[in-house]
Structure 1
Amino acid sequence: MWWDSGAGRLLLDRARDILPRWIERLQPETVLQLGQPLFWGMPPGTERTWVLLNDGAALPPEAYLQVCGACPDMPFAPMRFDLVIVPFCLSRMGDPEAVLDECWRVLRPEGHVLIMDFNPGGSLSFMRRWRLWRRDRAWPWRRPFLPLGKLRTLLENQDFILKEGRYFQYTLPGLEKNAQWMELVGDRWWPAGANAYLLLAQRRDPERPLVGLATPVKLRRERRKVSSEAPAAYDHSELG
């Protein structure tokens, strides 16, 4: 698996450092993570309900509540989660808009989606091109990485309000620990050269406008209204 390589471990280590602080600020009661990678053997915050949408990889059953399914068609009832974490999933999806539409559907009003993905301007993007040019079949990232500007547009079209974001992980693949100094200067001098970015967005509901919103957000005409009394998508006892 690519996440076991040197470049994959560097990116995972940096993500593990960043994610807990963002999650603690949001204080979600129910969290959904889409697919891989798995950041922790046991998710932080035992008082929370953590669900993993397992799209094919086997994981220890005691670590997460696992549900098998596809990201563009999630097997959950509407308004089920406070936070959806999307870790490096959109770059391998054929229809990222459908995935974001499902994130909006399963989030509770004013819930959040936290997206981590590869930056097309980073060194991993150049590595992707090199591996594809060499026809390396072991390289997992075949699709072009999703630019941050395009992701912002997709989120706004899906009735999300952008809250904040950041670039992270500047260390070049192959240098590993010998280039940790790049993490210290990257944010200040070379933010667009990061290998990854993180973006936080909040679900906006037409019936419950957020306080302080200065400009109207384009609403999707075809989105159906969903009831806040929707039943839970699963029973804990059935997940065993």
Structure 2
Amino acid sequence: MQHPGRQSRPRERRAAIWWNGRSGRLLLDRARDMLPRWIERLQPETILQLGQPVFWGLPPGHEHTWVLLNDGFALPSDEYLQAYGVCEAMPFAAMRFDLVIVPFCLTRMANPQAVLEECWRVLRPEGHVLIMDFNPGGSLSVVRRWHLWRRDRAWPWLRPFLPLGRLRGLLEEQGFVLREGRYFQYTVPGLRRNAQWMELVGDRWWPAGANAYLILAQRRDPERPLVGAVRSFKVRSGRQNVRSEAPVAYVGPDTENTAPCPKKS
């Protein structure tokens, strides 16, 4: 339910209608299938989700402290512990959460860098940020341009979709270590049914044509450098097994040996 006294703006209402429509439901269903597995791997104790409806109600079997920052775009069930605010200035203390989920929020933000700065601030050392957003190379991007050409006032996504390369650059500038990522959801909007074969074919032959992508990044503190074997970031297709990264340790100020780890032969 909306916050008392908080008026729903027209763009927020249009976004809620789109997420409840067929294209929005297809994308959310695919995100719901993927996200619990990633959360299970990370084992966070405290989770912050920014205001977008990845889950209408918490996922089954969750054992985490799950907080939703509701900025007016989400109308979740009462199961959420909610706070009201804006993503560019989160009303939380520093180093509060183990995981921040940013589902399809950066595209509609005027200043994505400010949102990532706040994510870095509220994350604990070695905490993770999990970002899902629209892919400019997917069929939804073509649909977006068509709606803008028609000057469709019911279309909610007016800003260009955030390219994956630009997002990677913003994360690296903020001091995040890129861990892994993938593309997902290939079904073309407008089909009468969800074409499962497109998910298989897209992962194998055309991953960059997905409608959405996911990136996992980890907070890095300049004063406490991360030590460990970190593979170069690569967007993986869904057919590849998801492997956890090498363990990461902290080097404290009293550590004598600060030489970098030798490369594997």
| TM-score interval for Structure 1 and Structure 2 normalised by the shorter chain | 0.7 to 0.9
Contact kept, 8 Å, 1:111 with 1:202, in 2: the verdict is yes
Cα distance between partner residues in 2 of 1:59 and 1:39: 8
Counterpart in 1 of 2:3? none
Contact kept, 8 Å, 1:32 with 1:84, in 2: the verdict is yes
Identity %: 79
Sort the Cα spacing of 1:124 and 1:159 in 2 relative to 1 into closer, same or farther, 3 A. same
Tell me, which stretches of 5 or more residues in structure 2 are unaligned? 1-16, 232-265
Contact kept, 8 Å, 2:53 with 2:75, in 1: the verdict is no
Amino acid at match of 1:159: G
Among 167, 172, 178, the alignment partner of 2:188 is 172
Among 179, 182, 192, the alignment partner of 1:163 is 179
Contact kept, 8 Å, 1:7 with 1:176, in 2: the verdict is no
Q: Which moved more, 1:22-31 or 1:175-184?
A: 175-184
Q: Which has the higher contact order (CA 8 A, sep 6+)?
A: 1
For 1:135-150, list aligned pairs within 5 A: 135-150=151-166
Deviations 1:33-67 (A, max 9, x none): 00012424123443210000001144332x11100
Contact kept, 8 Å, 2:36 with 2:59, in 1: the verdict is no
Counterpart in 2 of 1:232? none
Counterpart in 1 of 2:93? 77
Deviation for aligned residue 1:181: 0.5
Give the secondary-structure state (helix, strand or coil) at the position aligned to 2:227.
Answer: coil
Contact kept, 8 Å, 1:43 with 1:50, in 2: the verdict is no
Matched, 1:190 2:226: no
Give the secondary-structure state (helix, strand or coil) at the position aligned to 2:116.
Answer: helix
Higher Cα Rg, which structure: 2
Cα distance between partner residues in 1 of 2:132 and 2:192: 21
Cα distance between partner residues in 1 of 2:44 and 2:230: 26
Among 59, 69, 72, the alignment partner of 1:53 is 69
Deviations 1:10-41 (A, max 9, x none): 10111011101001000000000000124241
Give the secondary-structure state (helix, strand or coil) at the position aligned to 1:177.
Answer: coil
Amino acid at match of 1:55: D
Give the secondary-structure state (helix, strand or coil) at the position aligned to 1:104.
Answer: helix
Amino acid at match of 1:187: D
Q: Which moved more, 1:48-57 or 1:96-105?
A: 48-57
Amino acid at match of 2:134: F
Deviations 1:111-157 (A, max 9, x none): 00000000000000000000011111111000000000000000000
Contact kept, 8 Å, 1:53 with 1:69, in 2: the verdict is yes
Q: Please tell me the root mean square deviation across aligned C-alpha atoms, in Å.
A: 1.5
Amino acid at match of 2:202: G
Deviation for aligned residue 1:4: 0.9
Contact kept, 8 Å, 2:32 with 2:54, in 1: the verdict is no
Sort the Cα spacing of 1:178 and 1:202 in 2 relative to 1 into closer, same or farther, 3 A. closer
Cα distance between partner residues in 2 of 1:213 and 1:14: 31
Counterpart in 2 of 1:114? 130
Sort the Cα spacing of 1:108 and 1:13 in 2 relative to 1 into closer, same or farther, 3 A. same
Matched, 1:6 2:38: no
Deviations 1:176-228 (A, max 9, x none): 5352200011111000100000000000011221122679xxxxxxxxxxxxx
Cα distance between partner residues in 1 of 2:182 and 2:194: 23
Cα distance between partner residues in 1 of 2:95 and 2:194: 45
Counterpart in 2 of 1:224? none
Give the secondary-structure state (helix, strand or coil) at the position aligned to 1:205.
Answer: coil
Matched, 1:90 2:95: no
Cα distance between partner residues in 2 of 1:136 and 1:49: 40
Contact kept, 8 Å, 1:10 with 1:176, in 2: the verdict is no
Q: How many residues align?
A: 214
